[in-house]
Structure 1
């Protein structure tokens, strides 16, 4: 039996009326036997999210609601971690996801059994609406996730990054929590600092969650644009080298754009672009046939949006970083 360590489970939300009730029901149904407080941290929702949270809290005294004036997820988790709410273990949950009944108990056990400072989990992406199913298929495939460990069926082990689930609260606060200047990729930035502080990150494959992705092209593009910017900021700040899977979208996007530009002069150059279109289309058709779902035919479109948007965000952030360094160098020279 797991020792009864107290758990503080934080759920950052912003306009999550479609998902919040089901998410909290799943978290209330956890098989963990220790004391557990669930705190919903709202970033100023304008839909029924706050009303739903208040109703759930009235029925369940261990469910609390906090307001997050900073709005972003990193600030929400920090706010809960620094609060006087009980919990030696901090668990992060996303309202856009479903959690198995053993999620908390497996995460706590993984922390204890492996002397880990934080636990990350695998995730399986699922779509309900047609385009959302295509996005899910893309994110579950190597075409969309590049082989990221927490996106694949993989064995539990120590890793350098993953989808955040649980922390020793003292460790989280000891490395100053999330950097609130990051609206996206705050988890990867935290993991870089955690590693520098000799933190141990355990991937718990036995606590896989179900995640619901963006269902519209516009929101998907914005999400991945910000992901790209966040990844670039991490590389600049921590002076790390990008992995091959992170370079792949950049190389594909750059070569496709170059192919299109040169194609106006030399039509043969368009073969590169045609090859990428064939890759996305062929992968989509194969997946749609295998899954027997015509909606998956849009998988290639979803993957292309993800790759192009991520690349645009990455390159924009890198260009801004270069300009900032040039301005700083000019300022030093002038002085």
Structure 2
């Protein structure tokens, strides 16, 4: 089945019709309050509500959320016992009432004017979903390195929301400001997908004939994972679900998604060739020919080194060294997860970077 052209105009409700913000949260005590404050500070032309879907957190997230709801009547809480992001988003959307849905994330902070600009873009383009730039930032040297990887085309493959500059039709939208009527038409988020739910939702929006739009004037600050183990767990799970989406949708997935598993396969082949050469099981012309497998890895290391070094003065030496370590960590973890997901499916793979697998409900 070929992708349908984006030819249908999404409905444009009255500017003052209201906006519903939706956010799933799980173990976000360090980030939740700042994220909520950035939403409540938005200049919204009309009524607004903020529906937070609470997963079964094991930290003080629920207490913080209840305090914020008590302080501001615009904040409402709903339960998300399944803990998964798509389920939480659907719970929040179904509990909300306004015709425009703004997805927000506890690790993100909206910049001033974000919603007003998004509403103007939706009305001007008649798109069903619009998103902008994910501008990653960090506090520690490690988190800043992860942020640099996010913001670099080398890090996450150059998707428009990681640094695009030209407004226009898009494959997907980061977070997304969306028309409720279209979301209900396509059946909301697919609850069988635990990662990559945004890409899947926007793919189905495009399949239904509507436009997904990228506007680089929309900026969201994103705070990435702050430890190595959390980063690895996040990207193994993300890769596994991308592999699952490849199983479901095939080559409708962008070619950039296939780069990390290609790196993992090449690295594995290089290890095998090195072992055969070291034991003299591979000698002579055959060994020389097999050595060509090292060339793409050498080129990859050069690219990573230049990307980590940056231009001019740039970040300090510690940040550069962390970036040189973070980039291959992201690529290899994502690639390993992708291969597993593509071969056997993601199944019950869970992103445990925000919660221990032992804390998930049975």
Give how far 1:294 is off: 2.4
Question: Alignment partner of 2:24: what SS?
Answer: strand
Match of 1:40 among 49, 52, 57: 52
Q: Distance in 2 between matches of 1:86 and 1:282?
A: 49
The answer to which of 277-286 and 139-148 deviates more is 277-286
Pair 1:214-2:238 in alignment = no
Question: Alignment partner of 2:58: what SS?
Answer: coil
Question: Alignment partner of 1:240: what SS?
Answer: helix
Residue aligning to 1:239: 250
4+ residue runs over 6 A deviation: none
Pair 1:316-2:327 in alignment = no
Residue-by-residue CA offset, 1:298-335 (whole Å, 9 max, x unaligned):
1121111111111111111111159xxxxxxxxxxxxx
Question: Alignment partner of 1:64: what SS?
Answer: strand
Q: Distance in 2 between matches of 1:131 and 1:98?
A: 20
Q: Distance in 1 between matches of 2:208 and 2:306?
A: 45
Maintained 8 Å contact 1:288/1:294: no
Maintained 8 Å contact 1:26/1:100: yes
Residues 278, 15 of structure 1: CA spacing in aligned structure 2 closer, same or farther, 3 A cutoff?
A: same
Pair 1:300-2:324 in alignment = yes
Give how far 1:28 is off: 0.9
Question: Alignment partner of 1:219: what SS?
Answer: helix
Residue-by-residue CA offset, 1:205-243 (whole Å, 9 max, x unaligned):
111111011111111111111211221222221233443
Q: Distance in 2 between matches of 1:127 and 1:99?
A: 16
TM-score (norm 2): 0.83
Alignment of 1:1-335 (within 5 A): 3-83=15-95, 85-266=96-277, 269=291, 271-272=294-295, 273-286=297-310, 289-292=313-316, 294-321=318-345
How many pairs does the alignment contain?
Answer: 320
Residue aligning to 2:282: none
Maintained 8 Å contact 1:287/1:296: no
Q: Which runs of 5+ in 2 are unaligned?
A: 1-13, 279-287, 347-362
- Root-mean-square deviation (CA, aligned residues, Å) is 2.0
Question: Alignment partner of 2:20: what SS?
Answer: strand
Q: Distance in 1 between matches of 2:345 and 2:199?
A: 18
The answer to which of 226-235 and 184-193 deviates more is 226-235
Q: Distance in 2 between matches of 1:73 and 1:212?
A: 17
Q: Distance in 2 between matches of 1:153 and 1:195?
A: 20
Q: Which runs of 5+ in 1 are unaligned?
A: 323-335
Give how far 1:199 is off: 1.8
Give how far 1:12 is off: 1.1
Q: Distance in 2 between matches of 1:171 and 1:55?
A: 33
Give how far 1:137 is off: 0.8
TM-score (norm 1): 0.90
